[in-house]
Amino acid sequence: MALITKKKIPFKISPRLRKYLTKYGREKELPIKYTDLLRFDNAFPLYDKKGKDTLWETVMYPQNDLEEIYEALKIIYADLKTDGDAAVIKHLVVDRVDTCTYANTKPFRIRIVNKINDNHDYFYIKLADASRIYGLELEHLLSPNVMGYCTHEDTLVEEHIAGIPADQFMNNHLNDANFNPIRLSKEFIKFNERCFVRLLGDMHSSNFVIIVTPDFEDFHYRLRAIDFDQQSYESSKSVYMPQYFKQNNAMIQMGMQFLTPESVKQYQAEERTLIANRLREEKSRMHDLIETMKKDTLSLPDNLESLKQDLARHYKNPSFLNCKSMGEVVELSLKLVLIH
């Protein structure tokens, strides 16, 4: 069983990481910073449609700050979605700003509504944590998902990742008439492999979503991580494998019921091949990212030492013991994908 007992330590963006973000268009000038959103003077709990506390709070701003903050938020949304096309702003209103104080990055979630059709969307403003940024960038380069985010000094802005939270899916949709357990089990195996190869931790059912897409004969599923704080930080390999979280037991048991060991190995090999192809396609950018990551401190010395030993045993490869940083551990893990 995977277990995280201590809260993760955040790491500031280093000058070398800032240089990388600037080179690849992630660092931008923004009209408002994370600290500006802390100027609220009131907050009240946010409940879902069933009256359950969401653990988010809706914040209220003083009237003399409200217009400035909301206008800046609309500009950021336009920059995130339309590369700064200001024409879309006139159709948008900020409906709500929520905060979640227990999360590592203490995020603000902004609900944006289109006045023309009443459609809504979200985006997030958070304290920038280097671990999370490396996690987002690795997800962008190595997964089938495009990650929309940008940074400005100590502020991180992220697009909302739409999907059914995995815990809700397991509670409410496993008995749906059109549910296909084999396809979902396959995608869980591939998701597990992606997380382990690039060392993204803490993928229990609250930290990833399931996207359901109707196909011409059936339904297709995709599992997407939504929390990237635990990128190569923890000490145990099991933390980087969703299969070891008890919150994911429903999916794990489903896989044991519907998949053979041969099928599991096949899906693992398929995912590693896809990752290897992406590594080759993004060779230059991956090189820049990993070289930057290798020089940054992203974990505690004890965590690094323990994980090196864990992975050396897992892969039967003593080269992990020579790694001097989490970036080097990730680099070696990815190199093994290219070999096999």
CATH of the domain at 222: 1.10.1070
Same domain, 149 and 168: no
Work out the angle at residue 46's Cα, subtended by the Cα atoms of residues 45 and 48, and round it to the nearest 5 degrees.
140
- Residue 250 belongs to a domain: yes
Asked if 224 and 148 touch (Cβ cutoff 8 Å), the reply is no
Terminal-to-terminal C-alpha distance of the chain: 28
Same domain, 104 and 250: no
Same domain, 144 and 171: no
pLDDT, residue 91, reads 85
Tell me which of 125, 140, 159 is where a domain ends: 159
- Residue 313 belongs to a domain: yes
Tell me which of 138, 159, 180 is where a domain ends: 159
pLDDT, residue 154, reads 95
pLDDT (mean) for 4-27: 93
| Edge-to-edge strand list for the sheet holding 219-225 | 164-165, 208-214, 219-225
pLDDT, residue 142, reads 96
Same domain, 268 and 169: yes
pTM: 0.95
- Residue 62 belongs to a domain: yes
SS (H, E, C) 48-109: CCCCCEEEEEEEECCHHHHHHHHHHHHHHHHHHHHCCCHHHHHHEEEEEEEECCCCCCCCEE
Strand partners, 93: 113
How many domains is the chain partitioned into structurally?
2
- Residue 5 belongs to a domain: no
pLDDT, residue 340, reads 66
Same domain, 182 and 150: no
H-type helices in the chain, by residue range? 15-23, 63-82, 130-142, 166-172, 181-198, 249-258, 261-281, 283-295, 301-315, 326-339
CA atoms of 41 and 209, how far apart (whole Å): 33
pLDDT band at 289 (very low <50, low <70, confident <90, very high): very high
CA atoms of 186 and 181, how far apart (whole Å): 9
CA atoms of 208 and 201, how far apart (whole Å): 11
Tell me which of 159, 189, 212 is where a domain ends: 159
pLDDT band at 49 (very low <50, low <70, confident <90, very high): confident
Same domain, 37 and 117: yes
pLDDT, residue 3, reads 66
- Residue 42 belongs to a domain: yes
pLDDT (mean) for 146-165: 96
- Residue 137 belongs to a domain: yes
Instruction: Please check the confidence at residue 131 and state whether its pLDDT lies above 70.
Output: yes
Instruction: Please check the confidence at residue 85 and state whether its pLDDT lies above 80.
Output: no
pLDDT (mean) for 182-190: 97
Same domain, 151 and 218: no
Same domain, 191 and 287: yes
CA atoms of 15 and 17, how far apart (whole Å): 5
Range of the domain at 230: 164-339
Work out the angle at residue 236's Cα, subtended by the Cα atoms of residues 235 and 239, and round it to the nearest 5 degrees.
110
- Residue 277 belongs to a domain: yes
* Percent of the chain surpassing pLDDT 70: 98
pLDDT (mean) for 242-267: 96
User: Longest C-alpha distance within the chain, in Å?
Assistant: 64
Same domain, 262 and 282: yes
Same domain, 203 and 55: no
pLDDT, residue 29, reads 93
pLDDT, residue 5, reads 66
Q: By mean pLDDT, which of 71-80, 102-111, 141-150, 230-239 is the weakest?
A: 102-111
- Residue 240 belongs to a domain: yes
Same domain, 188 and 138: no
DSSP 271-292: HHHHHHHHHHHTHHHHHHHHHH
pLDDT band at 88 (very low <50, low <70, confident <90, very high): confident
Of the candidates 304, 329, 309, 303, the one whose C-alpha atom is nearest the C-alpha of residue 5 is: 303
Same domain, 37 and 66: yes
Which residues does 270 contact at the CB level (< 8 Å), separation at least 6?
Answer: 190
